[in-house]
Structure 1
Amino acid sequence: MAKIKKRGTTGAVKNYITRTQAVRKLQLSLPDFRRLCIFKGIYPREPRHKRRAAKNSTPNTTFYYTRDIQYLLHEPLLAKFREHKALAKKIGRALGRNEVSDAARMEKNLTPKMSLDHVIKERYPTFVDALRDLDDCLSMLFLFANLPQSDTVPPKTIQLCQRLCLEFEHYLIRTNSLKKSFLSIKGIYYQATIQGQDILWLVPYKFVQRVTGDVDFRIMGTFVEFYTTLLGFVNYRLYNSIGLVYPPKFSQKSDEQGAELGAFTLEGRGLGNEQMAIDSEPAEEKQISATAQAEADKILAESATEAPAEETTTAEAQEDGEAEANADTELDAFPAPIDPTSDTLIQPSISASTAAHLFDSFTFFLSRETPRHPLEFLVRAFGCKRVGWDAVLGDGAYTSDEADRRITHQIVDRPNLPLPEIPTETEEEGEQRQNRRLRPGERVPGRIYVQPQWVWDCINAGRLLRTDLYAPGATLPPHLSPWVKPKKGEYDPTKSLEEQEEEGEAELAAEQEDEESDEADEGSEGEEVAGVRGDEEARKREKELIKKGGKEVVDEGAEGMDVELAGSDDESEEEDEEDEEFGGFEEEEESDEEDDDAKAAQQHQRELEAEARGASISSPANKLDGPGSTPGKALKGKQSELQKKLNKKKREEEEEIERQKMMMSRRKRKVFEKMQYSNNKRDAEAEKLRGKRRKLEKGQQ
């Protein structure tokens, strides 16, 4: 006889455990249990059969894997949590006895220090695993680096996040690892490629942040505690990979003056040569001319070539590290084939190193109204070595003199102002003018002024764009996300309308616009004030037409009644007699001509009376291309012909699709219909966007 299984020992009941059971098993409080799960990367699970796992209990319950909780029983952090709990009891007893000094002494000296180094090694066995999980880490740390100090966010945490983020940015600047960036409503997105791994993170704008009480900063603080340890490990490994000492030297004085990136000094590993991360000039060296600077660079180059091969400098070690880092990103060049008749492969034109040194030969100056830190980080990450700004923005600038002649590009975010007139001046006056401070809005001749978006668009395009499109005060081109690539059939704002329009779409749109304009003109003509031509003049014209022998149908205006205007009884009898007589084909042709003249006169009379009443005229004659037709109605006839042609083509395509659907199975037919519905919806949206762009371009012209 088979052994009877006891209920609750196998299946979902055994595989899952509730949160209450887990807390009791680990002998922890609920906040400590949450911290431990965040550190170890354990999260709740959803059983397939929830009632079985909960032993038929109906309340909502949080479940965990039993094996995960068993794994936490051997965690060294449990001892630290219990030491914290015991210390809290001692401090509580001391405060109960009013021994405040003893409680403060115990909190300062007996608080156990908790290390997460072993947790990082367990969760990330390889360095690539840590890089793959760096997206959320960077977003969280950059967020806390921009938060204000409060009771929930201590200042030490903010300073630590700021320092780790700046160290990571220095590595990106040295290795030119930054690839793309995008300005969004949430903040600034950055993407970097490190050892083949794409890392994307979000940096909020530096606005005044308000810390609200509905956010649980205890849980976020636990994540920050873990992420700071992770980023410290990553920065250590990255700095050592390019031959730099970690952590870099940090100047507290420069940081208090707002230097940010300039507060760090990078040092080569084992060489003892220090190199400032941000090149800054003392006040006495700012007046050095360009020729003197070129001579100094020449002397340094000659001395470097005469140095022995054994003595390698920090710069050479860094260049070697950059070459190794960029070796994998450079494009391969394919040699030409031996056989001239064989196919040849297209050679790559732009390499990663070309885009990395995009701003290498420029000197930027950042105006006070521009965001200094994002622009400084971007231009330095793409090769620029000289960035200056006003002294009020902080320390660490290449130059704080806006009139410096070495500046090639100035980034401004103000409306365009006319250039001041440059009077003739002597050399002494020129030197005095260079030393004085520029007035707000004053421009330096020969310098390129652009808006901040030019930097982001050049980086995403991988090349230098036209600066006249980004001039101060100009309407900027659309700033598009570099990660969203339009699919086939979708609207692509980077392409022209001619490349995306379907057959006959532009012609049909133009004809519709012409028709709308003609209808608007007709409506404006019909809205003239009544009484321009008096009633007496209208009656005279009616009598003249009646004498000619025609019957006039007059629109009575608002009521829409048709009234026949006829002559006397004698005249009507004479007309009947004339109709009964047959005068041959020539007389019939003459009568047809007379009828056409009468119709034209009638139409003219309708227009006159409608004009006198202030209403628009509509008659069946306007629908045809004849003497009484208007240009708008003739255009409508052409439009209908084009529409008929397009409808016929569309109908043929639909018939062909229906014939093909007959050969499909029912399941495939339904899938195809869903695809067809989504494609039609996509095409309609693309056509709508093309129509909007067409109107905008026409308005700009």
Structure 2
Amino acid sequence: MAKIKKRGSSGASKNYITRSQAVRKLQISLPDFRRLCIFKGIYPREPRSKKRVSTSSTPSTTFYYTKDIQYLLHEPLLAKFRDQKALAKKISKALGRNEVGEAERKERNLTPRLRLDHIIKERYPTFVDAVRDLDDALSMLFLFANLPSTAEVPPKIITKCQRLTREFEHYLIRTHSLRKSFLSIKGIYYQATIQGQDVLWLVPYKFVQRTGGDVDFRIMATFVEFYTTLLGFVNFRLYTSIGLVYPPKFDLKAEEQGAGLAAIQPEGQNAEEREEDAMVTGTNEKAQAEADRLLSLPDADGEQQEPAKAAAEQSGADTEEQAPPANTLDTFQSLDAKADALLQPSATADSATAGHLFESFTFFLSRETPRHPLEFILRSFGCKRIGWDMSLGEPGAYCGENDKRITHQIVDRPDLPLPSPPATDGEADEEDGTAVRKGNERVPGRVYVQPQWVWDSINAGQLQRADLYAPGATLPPHLSPWVKARKGEYDPTLSLAEQETAAEIEAAEDGEGSEVDEAEADAALEAASEGEEVAGVRGDSEAAELEEELSEEDGGMDVELAGSDSEVDDAAAAGAQPDDEWGGFSGDEADDTALDAAAKATRDHQAELLAEATGQKLSNTSSAKDQKKAAREASQARRAREEREAREDGERRKMMMPRRKRKMFDKMVYSNARKDEEAEKLRGKRRRIENVGGARAGAGAGGK
């Protein structure tokens, strides 16, 4: 008889372990078990069948790999957790005996210190691995750096997060590693390239943060404790890689006064600048000595070289040797016009390009703009001269608002008026005789832009048109730099003419035609009732005649207008006869025919009056509309025939497919149709907005 196996000794149940079993096996409390799993990077696992994995009748919800828990048995932090538990018992006993001083002494001297250095080395064997895992760490630390100090978040943690994040930002500024940024509802997204790895993190806005009661700050504090250790290691490696001493000096007094990023003063920065100046001076002296030496050397013919020629040749050689290679980006052209567009390389792919984008400008940040994000981005892309209002912090400001060196001012307020005319004798300044400028006036020679101009410029890799971002202007759409529009999808950067389909164009023309007809009728009535406008177009005499014709009875139009000469001519052209010669029909049928002819004549007469009022040439509108309608119907029939043929061809091809591939194809067609419908809705919404904007612009121009 075979030996009966015990349940849970083999198979899937042996590979998994419940959380309660893991806590009993490690002999620690549940909060310590959570901290240990966060530090070691061990997460719950979801088995395929919980019924097979569970070894008890009670259903378990949280499972871990047995090997992971076995790995935790040898963790040095377990001893620290047990020491903390023993110390907590001693402190509670001292407090029970009312020995408060003894309890404080034990807590101050006997509290074990947790060090996570060995865990950082275990989880990240190489520095590249640590850089790849910086996304969540930076997002969490920037979040805690902006939180207010509460009982759950002590000020010590906030200060530590602020210092580490400022150090990281200073490294990005020095190396010009920032690449892209995006303003979203959640906050500001940043992307930097560090040693070939793209790091993306989120920074919340500088609003008053209110912490809710449903957030477990104990778990978040555990993550912060691990991430601060990780970012400290990364900052140390980054600073030493560029020759700076870590940790850098942090001027707390300057930070309290609003210095911003200037509060960090890393050691070795001035020394490096002096070394660069010395290297440049030494290179110039060496070149001059080499040029003097060449003056005394004979050339191939045995003659002395001319000083100017020798110096020019030597300087040219030095330029060729010292000139960096041209970082020109290759542009790939597609050979097939119907093929998908090739992805072009980004213009901000290297730090050299990013370091010179704003290098030649001097910026001033108005009080209403977000100073820290703008300062960080501008300095990361080469700008070294940034000023702001002295009341916000004088130590880090480069200049004031009235400084003549300012080339660009970033404002976020309505349109600023132009400067007032030159001041009179009584309005001049008493000190230097210059006019006193108001705070809400523009300075001549200075470019005023909104903050979005900075973000769009760095994402595009080049400076955008400043007139599109002027104060009070309607800004272009701010799009995510990481989302690229695919073929067939709606692209806000393109015009409607470049992405509309034939069916949408015809539908839009049909809608515009009906709107035009209504607009023509309204315009005719308006032109008929307002004789002054007609007089301004056609002259006083003609306007008076038109007004007399249109206002025979209370200024309105009546059926009697059908008796005019033009209507008689139109009726004759349509196959009808004048009223005095007509005798074919009688009764209601004759009345209906007369009313139809009168209505048609009235519409034609309105069109004629409108053409005369606007000074346009009267054309045969009915024939033109009929021709346009016929052409539209022909194109619709042709498109319907093509769609039917394509659908039939697709059905024939589907018949040859296996069932699995046929289902996949149906899902793909369904998803593509949903995307096309969404794109069509977005294009229709944009068309309506543009039509409303154009109508308002036309109305404004007509009113002027």
TM-score, normalised with respect to structure 2: 0.75
- The AA in structure 2 aligned to 1:695 is R
* Matched-pair contact (CA < 8 Å) for 1:546–1:552: no
d(CA) in 1 for partners of 2:255, 2:230: 24
- The AA in structure 1 aligned to 2:438 is R
Question: Could you tell me which residue of structure 2 aligns to residue 419 of structure 1?
Answer: 418
d(CA) in 1 for partners of 2:34, 2:44: 11
* Matched-pair contact (CA < 8 Å) for 1:515–1:636: no
Map 1:658-669 to 2 at 5 A.
658-669=651-662
Q: 1:548 aligned to 2:582?
A: yes
Q: C-alpha offsets along residues 615-672 of structure 1, whole Å, 9 cap, x if unaligned?
A: xxxxxxxxxxxx9979867754553333223222322322332333333333333322
* Matched-pair contact (CA < 8 Å) for 2:346–2:461: no
Question: Could you tell me which residue of structure 1 aligns to residue 135 of structure 2?
Answer: 135
CA separation of 1:389 and 1:628: change in aligned 2, threshold 3 A: closer
Cα deviation, residue 11, structure 1: 1.6
Q: C-alpha offsets along residues 105-160 of structure 1, whole Å, 9 cap, x if unaligned?
A: 22222211111111111111111111111000000000000000111100000000
Cα deviation, residue 79, structure 1: 1.2
Q: For structure 1, which segment, 90-99 or 517-526, has the greater mean C-alpha deviation from structure 2 after superposition?
A: 517-526
Q: 1:372 aligned to 2:406?
A: no
* Structure 2: unaligned runs, 5 residues or longer: 288-323, 332-343, 530-550, 569-577, 604-619, 695-704
d(CA) in 2 for partners of 1:435, 1:208: 43
CA separation of 1:218 and 1:65: change in aligned 2, threshold 3 A: same
d(CA) in 2 for partners of 1:691, 1:193: 39
Cα deviation, residue 250, structure 1: 1.1
Question: Could you tell me which residue of structure 1 aligns to residue 171 of structure 2?
Answer: 171
Cα deviation, residue 252, structure 1: 1.4
- The AA in structure 2 aligned to 1:551 is F
Question: Could you tell me which residue of structure 2 aligns to residue 642 of structure 1?
Answer: 635
- The AA in structure 1 aligned to 2:637 is K
Question: Could you tell me which residue of structure 2 aligns to residue 42 of structure 1?
Answer: 42
CA separation of 1:8 and 1:688: change in aligned 2, threshold 3 A: closer
d(CA) in 2 for partners of 1:217, 1:329: 52
Q: 1:354 aligned to 2:347?
A: no
- The AA in structure 2 aligned to 1:408 is T
Q: 1:82 aligned to 2:82?
A: yes
- Helix, strand or coil: the match of 2:179? strand
Q: 1:383 aligned to 2:382?
A: yes
Cα deviation, residue 436, structure 1: 9.7
d(CA) in 2 for partners of 1:224, 1:298: 42
Corresponding residue to 1:682 among 646, 671, 675: 675
Question: Could you tell me which residue of structure 1 aligns to residue 62 of structure 2?
Answer: 62
Q: How many residues align?
A: 593
TM-score, normalised with respect to structure 1: 0.76
d(CA) in 1 for partners of 2:19, 2:434: 71
Cα deviation, residue 266, structure 1: 1.5
Cα deviation, residue 564, structure 1: 4.6
Question: Could you tell me which residue of structure 2 aligns to residue 469 of structure 1?
Answer: 468
CA separation of 1:123 and 1:300: change in aligned 2, threshold 3 A: closer
What is the percentage of aligned positions where both structures have the same residue? 63
Q: C-alpha offsets along residues 199-244 of structure 1, whole Å, 9 cap, x if unaligned?
A: 0000000001111211111100000000000000000001111111
d(CA) in 2 for partners of 1:628, 1:204: 60
Cα deviation, residue 298, structure 1: 11
- Helix, strand or coil: the match of 2:266? strand
CA separation of 1:628 and 1:360: change in aligned 2, threshold 3 A: closer
- Helix, strand or coil: the match of 2:46? coil
CA separation of 1:652 and 1:434: change in aligned 2, threshold 3 A: farther
Question: Could you tell me which residue of structure 2 aligns to residue 672 of structure 1?
Answer: 665
* Matched-pair contact (CA < 8 Å) for 1:94–1:103: yes
- The AA in structure 2 aligned to 1:678 is S
- The AA in structure 1 aligned to 2:639 is L
Question: Could you tell me which residue of structure 1 aligns to residue 119 of structure 2?
Answer: 119
CA separation of 1:232 and 1:630: change in aligned 2, threshold 3 A: same
CA separation of 1:406 and 1:609: change in aligned 2, threshold 3 A: closer
- Helix, strand or coil: the match of 2:414? coil
d(CA) in 2 for partners of 1:363, 1:243: 28
Q: 1:268 aligned to 2:302?
A: no
CA separation of 1:147 and 1:252: change in aligned 2, threshold 3 A: same
Q: C-alpha offsets along residues 248-274 of structure 1, whole Å, 9 cap, x if unaligned?
A: 1111111111223111112229xx838
CA separation of 1:378 and 1:537: change in aligned 2, threshold 3 A: closer
- Helix, strand or coil: the match of 2:42? coil
CA separation of 1:368 and 1:466: change in aligned 2, threshold 3 A: same
Question: Could you tell me which residue of structure 1 aligns to residue 211 of structure 2?
Answer: 211
- Helix, strand or coil: the match of 1:273? helix
CA separation of 1:437 and 1:19: change in aligned 2, threshold 3 A: farther
* Matched-pair contact (CA < 8 Å) for 2:236–2:246: yes
Q: For structure 1, which segment, 68-77 or 181-190, has the greater mean C-alpha deviation from structure 2 after superposition?
A: 68-77
Cα deviation, residue 434, structure 1: 11
- Helix, strand or coil: the match of 1:189? strand
- Helix, strand or coil: the match of 2:193? strand
* Matched-pair contact (CA < 8 Å) for 1:355–1:463: no
- Helix, strand or coil: the match of 2:213? coil
- Helix, strand or coil: the match of 1:267? coil
Cα deviation, residue 488, structure 1: 1.7
Question: Could you tell me which residue of structure 2 aligns to residue 623 of structure 1?
Answer: none
Cα deviation, residue 71, structure 1: 1.3
Question: Could you tell me which residue of structure 2 aligns to residue 478 of structure 1?
Answer: 477
* Matched-pair contact (CA < 8 Å) for 1:508–1:643: no
- Helix, strand or coil: the match of 1:64? strand
CA separation of 1:431 and 1:385: change in aligned 2, threshold 3 A: farther
Q: C-alpha offsets along residues 143-181 of structure 1, whole Å, 9 cap, x if unaligned?
A: 000000111100000000000000000110111111000
d(CA) in 2 for partners of 1:685, 1:53: 45
Map 1:573-584 to 2 at 5 A.
none
d(CA) in 2 for partners of 1:331, 1:121: 40
d(CA) in 2 for partners of 1:431, 1:483: 56
* Matched-pair contact (CA < 8 Å) for 2:259–2:393: yes
Question: Could you tell me which residue of structure 2 aligns to residue 286 of structure 1?
Answer: none
Q: For structure 1, which segment, 51-60 or 219-228, has the greater mean C-alpha deviation from structure 2 after superposition?
A: 51-60
Q: For structure 1, which segment, 688-697 or 455-464, has the greater mean C-alpha deviation from structure 2 after superposition?
A: 688-697
- The AA in structure 1 aligned to 2:373 is P
